[in-house]
Amino acid sequence: MLQQFNPQNKDIQVYVNDGLYHRDAAKVSVFDSVVQGGDAVWEGLRVYDGGIFCLDRHLDRLYTSAKTLAFVDIPSKETIKKAIFQTLEANGMRDNVHIRLTLTRGEKITSGMDPRLNQKGSCLIVLAEWKPLVYDNKNGIKVITAHIQRNSPRHLDSKIHHNNLLNNILAKIQANIAGADAALMLDAYGFVAELNGTNIFMVKDGVLFTPHADACLHGITRGLIIEIAKNAGIPVVERNLSLTEFYGADEVFCTGTMGELTPITFIDGREIENHSGSILLPILKELFIEQIPVHSEPLPF
């Protein structure tokens, strides 16, 4: 599950601020806000067969995150799209690509956390790499519950997709030490929130359940799966869900750009065993794959 260096990415061009640079020359300043305070927002996107999946939804979320953090000069959607297209074209990338899109608050005049020290405008980074899905979405992943809770809106709203990822990184360290693939994170009340980098669903007796998007990122894949399931007549319930309900579920899976829909086979050493015989995951996976071209913005080159 640990990603390896892909030699195909040895000479990629990366967009930073105003143009393209070889990966070795693509840099941000030591005065940049992302260095000074993790003060940046980001999106992870995938390119499938000549199109960018859910591009507008990702740009909407990026915009909302940047607005919440009071960035002052957020580039227009058109500017960001142009930078993405330019990067993909320069690298000849049309499929099997992951894009890490980052917008930092930009360079500061001196070190410090105060946003008033940012006087040079924001900094846009488009890092496109040849990359298969990170999770094994056929064989599934094993997860453990982390002791660290997912951020609540009272502290740092998990709906902001920001680069201060230590909440998730601490959980991932715990999973790594336990030999698990990912960490399951609870909310402030002990209900299941999400995994450290994906959202979580469970199936019981033919009903699809997922936690409220209160202490998790409102994932774009999550939203689409809810839409797809409802359109297919599958009952969907968003509510507080405890670990006990997940241990006893018929199916558990996670959703996100890093794994599409990936089965979860073990939670805290408890095997997820389907006793009811109702099977939704393969159906949802197939419907999701069908929707990829429908929701992808074609590349203009």
Cβ proximity to ligand PMP: between 13 and 63 the closer is: 63
CB of 255 to ligand PMP, least distance (A): 6
CB of 30 to ligand PMP, least distance (A): 26
Cβ distance to ligand PMP smaller for residue 184 or 280: 184
Considering the complex, what minimum distance in angstroms separates the CB of residue 219 from ligand PMP?
3
Q: Please say which residue, 168 or 262, places its beta carbon nearer to ligand PMP.
A: 168
Residue whose beta carbon is closest to ligand PMP:
219
Asked if 264 contacts 201 with a C-beta cutoff of 8 angstroms, the reply is: no
Sign of CA dihedral 207, 212, 217, 223: positive
> What are the residues binding ligand PMP (CB under 6 A)?
44, 168, 194, 197-199, 216-217, 219-222, 255-257
Tell me whether residue 98 or residue 108 sits nearer to ligand PMP (CB atom): 98
Shortest spacing between CB 140 and ligand PMP, in angstroms: 17
Q: How far apart are CA 239 and CA 253, in angstroms?
A: 16
Nearer to ligand PMP, 58 or 142 (CB): 58
Strands 141-145 and 260-267, how do they pair? parallel
Contact 32, 106 (CB under 8 A): yes
CA distance 115 to 265: 44
Amino acid letter at 85? F
Distances (CA, A) of 247 to 13, 161, 244, 278, 298: 45, 29, 5, 16, 41
Least Å from the CB of residue 152 to ligand PMP: 14
